[in-house]
Amino acid sequence: MYKQYFDRYGITSKLQKHKIKTDTDSFDFQYSCKNGVWHCFESLSFALKNEVTIRDKIYRWDGFARELLTADEPLKVYLLSIFPDNPELADLLQKKLIIQDKQREIRVIGEKEADAVALELKEAVETEH
């Protein structure tokens, strides 16, 4: 859903697959790049009709995000998201899925921020090469 932003800055072809190992599992990211730390991208949509389903999905991804904090390497994970229409649920999404520690960071990126993040990534990719 956010590929257009990566295409705009010519970075889609520079992204690669990467597997993150955690204490109890491992997760594959289709779109990643390394510039000191791994930058990994995952698309998510919370534009669902049923509020209970949205809450369930937020809490499920909260568990995923917290597991990523046990990764054995520094990383930044960007959850490229379509936010729910309900402002209360959008706020819950941000509270639950924006977390970090000293070496790992998980960010929720909405459509309003997508262009800026793609530009930031372009600069990171160019610095690495």
Residue 30's alpha-carbon distances to 3, 42, 43, 102, 110, in angstroms, are 12, 8, 10, 24, 19
Domain-by-domain residue ranges, the chain? 3-128
Q: Is the pTM of this model over 0.85?
A: yes
Query: Between 51-68 and 87-97, two packed helices, what is the crossing angle to 10 degrees?
Result: 10
7 within 8 A of 17, measured Cβ to Cβ? no
- Is the domain defined by 3-128 classed in CATH 3.40.1350? yes
- Residue 128: enclosing H or E segment and its boundaries? helix 111-128
- Going residue by residue through the chain (129 aa), what tens digit of pLDDT does each one get? 678 888 999 999 989 999 999 999 999 999 999 988 999 999 999 999 999 999 999 999 999 999 999 999 999 999 999 999 999 999 999 999 999 898 999 999 998 898 898 998 888 777 765
